[in-house]
Structure 1
Amino acid sequence: MSTSPAHMSEARRYSQLRAHLSYLKLNDAFEALPRVLDQARGENLSLTAALERLLEIEVEATESRRLAARERFACLPEPWTLSDFDFSAQPGVDEKLIRDLATLRFLDDASNVLFVGPPGVGKTMLSVALGRAAVDAGHRVYFTTAAELAAKCHKAALEGRWKTCMRFFAGPRLLIIDELGYLPLPEDGASALFQVINQRYLKSSTILSTNVGIADWASAFGDATVAAAMLDRLLHRAAVVGIDGPSYRLRHHQNHADSLRQGVNARVS
């Protein structure tokens, strides 16, 4: 059976198109090409509409991969979003301020956010929720605890990688430093934290959560000069969110325990 020149030409074009997609590493478009061509014939799509549909598949796949990469880099400890936070359970939180922060406008002028309050009131959850919003918006985010940051800086100094370590912490558009004051920092920890904050000053945003009141930083970190310099840079452009309410975490555990108790009582009765 013979094949007409027109059919041979279409076959060659199809083969060449697949080769082009493969060469350009448009792998998702490569895989979707047969399906899109079938849809184009079945739905009588124009050439422009078919091409747009094919490239849309590639763009969505690329963005999905980039989002996954940003999520891996961010190291957020939980998948919390702002919708997970129960503002009615924590009246100590200024909901209007938090929702304004969730617009991420503070990233535009490299402002900082400080969550200050006792353990369990939701500081970490809110920090992670804002970090999650930034990741979804396409920003580079990194989460660490103050103790982890100090340990990484100390190790880098011993191994002669101090400048590399500083560049790493300077890189993210948003750096989240959690649990400042929960554990004592090593001797050079406060200095390392100051240098990280100093190099990000007026360039990138930092979210910091702490159980230490601002007035007590000097005594808590053992170096009044470093503490004052750190606060000067953090507070120059900052939203300070003081949370002085009941433990959000303990309330959650209490509600869970009450639900279990009610279930047991219902079965017994």
Structure 2
Amino acid sequence: MNHTVKEIHSQFKQLRLVETAEELPQLLREAEKSSWTYLEFLEAITHFELKKREAKSVERRLKWARFPYKKTLLEFSIEAQNSLSERQLTQLQEINWLEQQYNLILLGPPGVGKTHLAVGLGIEAINKGFQVYFVTMGELIQLLKTEEFAHKSQVQMKRLRASDLVIIDDLMYMAMDQREANLFFQMINHLYEQSSIILTSNKSPDQWGELMGDEGITTAILDRLLHRVEIVHMNGDSYRMKNRQNLF
């Protein structure tokens, strides 16, 4: 079995081990230099391939998530928060709440970092192997209303319903009509005890009924969202206002 490196490179590609095929010359040099055993060499190959596949999988899940930006929790300024401690942030970052299918509601005025925290937690979830989908409330209502006849909306809603974590940003920033409220309830009902949801809102749950206009639907939605939930109040000063003031 006297194969050349070129032949083995080609065979790796046929086996769809493309990343390993490209790295093979370097791995062989390292094996010779360090006098690896056969087992060590095989371990190096499999480790390299698995690492590359996981990196590609994370990249695909990040693209699927449709985040408005990629800000991690390392970039989140906990010092600016009056009501969220370092310990609480660490607990959220461990993603145990997602494994237990808990929901998170991030409440606070505009600019305090609700979306940043939601995106950061979404990225943490993706790095731990979960499927995540991000959508603003305005985008979600449009998707729900056009799903019946628009292929693009059908694709996006299929991805949303297949996700382990759904992030809905700016919940209840606008009033819903009867049809929109019904469609929103159906979606929440589908996700109930199947996926976790992160909601960001500047209005507390007891104010949501005013915007849905239907007490029955509001109660049904809240029953499902609040069954297992952690509510994080983010009442610090606006980050954006702080940054804006610092410019002058």
TM-score by length of 2: 0.91
Question: Tell me, which stretches of 5 or more residues in structure 2 are unaligned?
Answer: none
Q: 1:49 maps to which residue? A: 40
Point out the structure with max Rg over C-alpha. 1
Quote the Cα distance in structure 1 between the aligned partners of 2:160 and 2:26.
45
8 A Cα contact 1:166 1:196, kept in partner: no
Q: 1:112 maps to which residue? A: 103
1:217 to 208, 213, 220: 208
CA-based RMSD: 2.2
Is 1:134 matched with 2:125? yes
Quote the Cα distance in structure 2 between the aligned partners of 1:232 and 1:159.
31
Q: 1:5 maps to which residue? A: none
What amino acid sits opposite 2:197 in the alignment? T
Q: 2:220 maps to which residue? A: 229
What amino acid sits opposite 1:121 in the alignment? V
With over 3 angstroms needed to count, the CA separation of the structure-2 counterparts of 1:90 and 1:62, relative to structure 1, is: same
Quote the Cα distance in structure 2 between the aligned partners of 1:112 and 1:206.
5
With over 3 angstroms needed to count, the CA separation of the structure-2 counterparts of 1:164 and 1:226, relative to structure 1, is: farther
The more displaced of 140-149 and 242-251 is 242-251
Quote the Cα distance in structure 1 between the aligned partners of 2:51 and 2:151.
41
Q: 1:190 maps to which residue? A: 181
1:72 to 63, 80, 87: 63
Question: Tell me, which stretches of 5 or more residues in structure 1 are unaligned?
Answer: 1-8, 259-269
Percent identity over the alignment is 32
Q: 2:17 maps to which residue? A: 26
Is 1:84 matched with 2:84? no
What amino acid sits opposite 2:116 in the alignment? M
Q: 1:17 maps to which residue? A: 8
**Displacement of 1:168 after TM fit?**
3.2
Aligned residue pairs: how many? 248
Q: 2:237 maps to which residue? A: 246
**Displacement of 1:243 after TM fit?**
2.1
The more displaced of 234-243 and 13-22 is 13-22
With over 3 angstroms needed to count, the CA separation of the structure-2 counterparts of 1:32 and 1:238, relative to structure 1, is: same
